[in-house]
Chains A and B, each alone.
Chain A
């Protein structure tokens, strides 16, 4: 097993390195679907150039990353002397992917005792769990979305990394709330939306404590510690930058959506065409929309916090203001974790087709609009809308499958009425 995982990783690294030798990276670096104004490598370079000439990168509107990321990239560029920077990024990513997967399947079911009889067909067996790391690694290293962000040198690689580390912390270091919240704070610090992961984390600690205290007693320390870490990080930024203007350039930029460059999300064209006096209202609605799902899911999925966390990662990556293939790559790489629910999914085929069609057509229609001038903005908008719809179908279908399987686990796979007739399971 370990051999095939290592083989997979090596294959992935070779594949990326080979692609780096082509013209593909240059092409991908400018693709709106792959990089956003926040994660574009070009803008990071601009930030560095400004810093070099003693201009604060936040005085302008080109650079939106947080300061330490900038310093970190400085450091990485130093390492470039030793080894090729790109290889470094690739290795870093794959190593973390692997170590993440070594530890994932630890606890998927805690309350096996409550399950119904004759559910062997849907139970997760240790055989499945053993093959899981290989599948996830394989999916990750050959996932075109992951490859594309790696080739484009998007800084989303780094934000994905911090989420990876956070997941490992969450699952591996079972009892360390301090570190878990620190990693949420780090991810929030970089891309804002992960603050909502506090909910699944609290839910998780509630779960592993075997429901010993009221759930609220888990929410308070989770949020408290998270806020403490987050404030600390902002304080560090302030001490580096010497002013609070970076807040507007980073979080203000994420929340206010001033940059309307096309991306794969729903924000850009909506706010391009928005009537001015409704703008603030709809920005509030859309931003709330990206996190509001945590409340019903927290209630419904309180027994499966890891799945809840995955759902939140997925939903925020659809509804964030500047989504890119980086976020989608992360979600799709983690999707095989829920392989055991796939048999319950209803429209996997349709979703797969939508993904493929959108991914292929997006750059074509963008070219027709921007370069050829033979299409207009609506063509590209249609594609991004379809892509968002595909993601929504996938995430809701996965939720359905998960809940449906759970129903079967508790009620058995034979759906029989009292009179012995076989019937259907429906939502009521």
Chain B
């Protein structure tokens, strides 16, 4: 009895939960809020038997992970486009729509079948259309999506156990937020979760829900692994007048901290107050932290929610600008990308991506593109050029698409020259679909998912990212690594396809069959009958013919 109790108490003790909020006033006048909830559970994903006593880790998700032998799972649901040139980099990049990529465990037998079962399970779980991620929109990237967490050697060499799919058309709304916030240990009752009022959240310029599960090192020796569940919510608001407060933006105060968390903090980026203060925060921060990371120095005002809400006080961070904010451009992000459709008409088309490198050093990047089957990619037309000279890529991984079966998948590894723009362009042909394959609003067009740019930056200017070993933001303050992994999603594209006339299937079937019948009838006539001389005397009237018919019988 005692041992059982002890065992259970140990099981409760081995998971921890941290909630954080990073607030970053942007030079464009927008304010970026990044909520980060990290649950770490000292159990190993490859031992499904241990998934029995759940503490803070959500059971519904744990069941999905063990049933489908998931090693890593990354899901993002986003509404709106992140503007890199105006806002810098987000903490975690996500494309418009939904994106899911999963590493499976090597013990898996039929990966494609498991993937389709998994997307159906997740689709039900998160109320999104993830079940549309069938073979037509799923790829296995070779270089762009390496495991994020602890992974054995076997994963590094090949991409058999990964599946990636994106739904650029997916609309993200309240029904996606509700199941997502239910996974939080304190739900939305207390703590930072109590700020999630859908009516306010979906009024934002950019809104992104993230869910990432991966194995991480249990301790610094890294002999055993733990599971880390990271849930993030990024929102960018335009407060119209530059003054903002939690109450004004989320419609509520903070009145308590979630008692299940080990740490519950709010960080406000006040780097723009250096050297001259342009806004003042109230109440005053519990502490000011200066973080030097690589060549980037940032200053954060740190609030501990527990301290601020002690004795039943309500807590509201407000920022007041003493003089009107001067809208400025940010320091150009080191790498950014732009993508657009070229050409005209509904027959052919092209895509051009411009990739900017604003650094003084060369950079090796991986560019990944997934095109749906109905935009037939022409490999021969793929060109990479930098200021007029052709760039020879290091490696290309190209998997041609199949009609109604597989998308066109392209990964290119190449070098971005210092301070230059590299142009990637290619042509595609628009397919003619069957009338049943068009969506109800056929003339709206079809979406092409974001292209993805992956690289390792030598600098962290304008880039607040958690370190590789933990998604807890606070850990990034003590991170002393010198290179920073960056993933960038470009714009999604909208292409129109030629449409048939949806109103006349019967007419078309009738007309085409008539033409065939003309041929059949004429040839039948000419081959089964003989030429004879017409003898008028033998010609019988209709009446005689009918009589003859009766006589014979």
Contacts and interface: CB of A to CB of B under 8 A. Distances in A.
Contact of B403 (A61, A296, A395): A61
A425 B531 contact: yes
A255 interface: no
Given A371-B346, A424-B534, A260 B519 contact: no
Given A61-B403, A271-B434, A423 B518 contact: no
Contacts of A110: none
Contacts of B432: 259-262, 268, 272
B527 A50 contact: no
Contact of A396 (B376, B436, B519, B535): B519
Interface stretch (A157-165, A219-227, A273-281): A273-281
A184 to B, nearest CB: 22
A269 interface: yes
Interface string B511-551: 11001101110111111111111111000000000000000
B7 interface: no
Nearest to B512: A270
B103 to A, nearest CB: 24
Contacts of A62: 376, 378, 400
A355 interface: no
B466 interface: no
A260 B431 CA distance: 8
Contacts of A53: 379, 396, 398
A128 to B, nearest CB: 23
Interface residues of A, number: 67
A212 B306 CA distance: 108
Task: Give chain A's interface secondary structure class.
Answer: helix
Contacts of A319: 516, 519
B151 interface: no
B523 A399 contact: yes
Contacts of A428: 529-532
A270 B529 contact: no
Contacts of B522: 392, 396, 399-400
A18 interface: no
B380 interface: yes
A199 B524 CA distance: 18
A109 interface: no
Nearest to B521: A396
B407 to A, nearest CB: 11
Nearest to B399: A59
Contacts of B312: none
Contact of A273 (B344, B396, B500, B535): B500
Contact of B523 (A59, A258, A293, A404): A293
B534 A61 contact: no
Given A59-B399, A272-B435, A425-B533, A296 B528 contact: yes
Contacts of A296: 523-524, 527-528
B428 to A, nearest CB: 10
Interface stretch (A93-101, A331-339, A375-383): A375-383
B399 to A, nearest CB: 7
A392 B401 contact: no
Contacts of A377: 498-501
Contacts of A30: 347-348
Interface stretch (B189-197, B293-301, B384-392, B502-510): B502-510
Which of A260, A371, A388, A425 has the most C-beta atoms of chain B within 10 angstroms of its own C-beta?
A: A260
B506 to A, nearest CB: 9
A378 B508 CA distance: 9
Nearest to B379: A49
Contacts of B436: 276
| Shortest 5 CB-CB contacts between residues of A and residues of B | A60-B400, A49-B380, A296-B527, A396-B522, A273-B505
Given A273-B435, A403-B526, A428-B532, 13 more contacts: A42-B378, A60-B401, A61-B400, A268-B432, A272-B433, A274-B509, A297-B527, A376-B501, A385-B512, A396-B522, A399-B522, A426-B533, A426-B534
